[in-house]
Amino acid sequence: MTATTDGSAGAVGPRAAAASTTNELRRGDDAASGIGGTAPPDASGLDGAAARAAERAAGHLLARQDPEGWWKGDLETNVTMDAEDLLLRQFLGILDAGTTHAAALHIRREQREDGAWATFYGGPGDLSATVEAYVALRLAGDAPEAPHMARASAWVRAGGGIASARVFTRIWLALFGWWRWEDLPELPPELLFLPKWFPLNIYDFGCWARQTIVPLTVVSAKRPVRPAPFPLDELHTDPDLPAPPRPLAPATGWDGLFQRLDKALHVYHRVAPRALRRTAMNQAARWIIERQENDGCWGGIQPPAVYSVIALHLLGYDLQHPVMRAGLESLDRFAVWREDGSRMIEACQSPVWDTCLAAIALADAGLAPDHPALVKAVDWMLDEEITRTGDWAVRRPGLPPGGWAFEFHNDNYPDIDDTAEVLLAFRRVRHPDPARLEAAVARGTRWTLGMQSKGGAWGAFDADNTSVLPNKLPFCDFGEVIDPPSADVTAHVVEMLAFEGLAQDPRTRRGIEWLLAAQEPNGAWFGRWGVNHVYGTGSVLPALTAAGLPVSHPAIRRSVRWLGSVQNQDGGWGEDLRSYHDEAWIGRGASTASQTAWALIALLAAGERDSEPVRRGVAWLAETQREDGSWDEPYFTGTGFPWDFSINYHLYRQVFPLTALGRYVYGEPSPGKVR
């Protein structure tokens, strides 16, 4: 991993030199090509400031393109990634002093003054994250009597101790005997025998949960315990007493029903036929190995990779086995090494997502459609197209492949959101091989349409992944485990279909109807994959107007009024992650570059270019831009799971402000102009 100072460099290979000087940004000569707009404004006043800010931002972004054509910013989450990486290495017996020291530097730096660790910048302390961070620092040699450790353990005890931590944290502790397996929910590997039509089969879970649950069924069956390197009595409220039993919910509800089912599964664990269990675990191993990616990872994300390595190790795969060796090597690629010697673990890497957003931003900010940087980006994205069938075909058998994933390597799980944005980026570039590009667009459009859910909307990875039962399992006490349709993904698809000339297609109209019905009473839309209503609204309005809804439409006017009502006094917009579970935070938070850009993108799509909120927002972006053309943004504005797992995409602060400024300066892109 290349060390970076602003998180905008890639993970593979050196950063590219500037692909172009910024004076190559132009629009006027491109009007005839179908991508042009009006000429840049005069250099005076707000319009001039916006144009200069866009030019600096474009230069900054161009300088960070990898020679292969992609962009990737750091994907920052929380210290549980770093702690679990150390715990995995301790479990496998491969923990080394250098890795431990570097991880500890990062974990210590993230500790709050009260001793806890949060899961996002400025957020409240989180009990499970604090427990895991504390254990990781104990592995690094930090003494429990040290002031920062004593504060942490006191904070954990005040929060209920280890017994109040989430299931996944207690699984990690059970691996070393710090928690009893008998006090964890049971997850039998026989789950894999359930047919695809049966409730609670593995395909009822979202792909990220499915990839984690399958290896964990092996871990749950094996119940391994490695020698603990130290006790953790200081994290229990009363270490001399067993964990108190959790009260049962009434048997008349789902929670009570599944709690009683879990008790029955614990009994089954003791009497499970050995041959049946052995067959189930072997099937789990085959399932895991079949889904290992070419780079050795699983699903392009760290948690399934970690649990898959543990499960296969428990089934007898030694660390030199090719599957294991490739898996461990892939985990090393999630590490970001900083200049101060610290080491941060990314939960995932986002090159496809970052590249398509960067291409859109640069094109909308005036970069020529045949500029080498854009052509190279499209070349790289064309090579990343997924042309083989994955788990998505369980719900859509017979649908030909043709999508894009989020990561460098994740051919089993293309996602609808990336595919829509990649196709939108393609339509902004004049590629020297139009036949190849058109063929890829046709396949991607066909696959996306085929992944529409019954209600007319789109989820992220699967169609009709809407069962409510997985979320009721005692095992699933952390984050979303299903993948229902969302407004932001549906909006990106509708926008893409409009650019493909399909605005009047019945499938597009069903998506529009779903979006209109999903609007919140206040005029906003909920943001599933970005924080939160500002993101949802910033996604939906461009889609609705691209699809032909007039800016006078009541739904659009309601959202415009809402955005104006939540604008901060400084002219920016922000929304705290606490808005996911506290309505008082909806649309409220410190101004950030990415969220200000989302609000501006929405307002510009709604025809509000000359309004006071837009002018104040553009002024805020211009005034807060750094000298190098970038913006600073410590706040987390992305989500893996709303509230439970938050993400700071380090490239968001660059691509979205550039997109907003470009559209303010040069006008809105539209299907007619881009074509």
**C-alpha span between 293 and 308 (Å, rounded):** 12
**Hey, CA dihedral for 312, 313, 316, 318, is it positive or negative?**
positive
**C-alpha span between 457 and 461 (Å, rounded):** 12
Tokens of 442: 């046709």
Q: Contact at 8 Å (CB) between 367 and 55?
A: no
Q: Is 417 a catalytic residue?
A: yes
Q: What is the DSSP letter of 647?
A: E
Residue 625: CB atoms within 10 A of its CB come to: 22
Residue labelled with tokens 């005839």: 32
Distance of CA 375 to the CA centre of its chain: 26
Query: Smallest Cα–Cα separation from 592: which of 610, 578, 568, 574?
Result: 574
Amino acid present at 270 = R
- Determine which one of 126, 379, 417, 488 is catalytic: 417
**C-alpha span between 107 and 420 (Å, rounded):** 36
Cα angle for residues 255, 261, 265 (degrees, 5° grid): 140
Tokens of 567: 């604008």
Distance of CA 490 to the CA centre of its chain: 16
Query: Smallest Cα–Cα separation from 290: which of 201, 379, 192, 381?
Result: 192
Q: Contact at 8 Å (CB) between 424 and 356?
A: yes
Q: Is 383 exposed, middle or buried (0-12, 13-18, 19+ CB in 10 A)?
A: exposed
> Which residue intervals of 223-350 are DSSP H helices?
254-271, 274-290, 302-314, 322-332
**C-alpha span between 434 and 438 (Å, rounded):** 6
Instruction: Tally helices (H) and strands (E) across the chain.
Output: 23, 5
Query: Smallest Cα–Cα separation from 41: which of 564, 665, 612?
Result: 665
Residue 252: CB atoms within 10 A of its CB come to: 8
In the Cβ-directed half-sphere of 1, how many Cα atoms lie within 13 Å? Answer: 27
**C-alpha span between 670 and 582 (Å, rounded):** 36
Amino acid present at 318 = D
* Residue 25 CB contacts under 8 Å (≥ 6 apart), including other chains: 54, 55, 58, 365, 366, 367, 368
Q: Contact at 8 Å (CB) between 39 and 27?
A: yes
**C-alpha span between 608 and 109 (Å, rounded):** 43
Tokens of 601: 């993108």
Q: Contact at 8 Å (CB) between 228 and 162?
A: no
Query: Smallest Cα–Cα separation from 507: which of 552, 547, 545, 467?
Result: 547
> Which residue intervals of 500-553 are DSSP H helices?
506-518, 533-546
**C-alpha span between 653 and 393 (Å, rounded):** 35
Residue 160: CB atoms within 10 A of its CB come to: 12
Coil, strand or helix at 121 = coil
Active site residues: 417
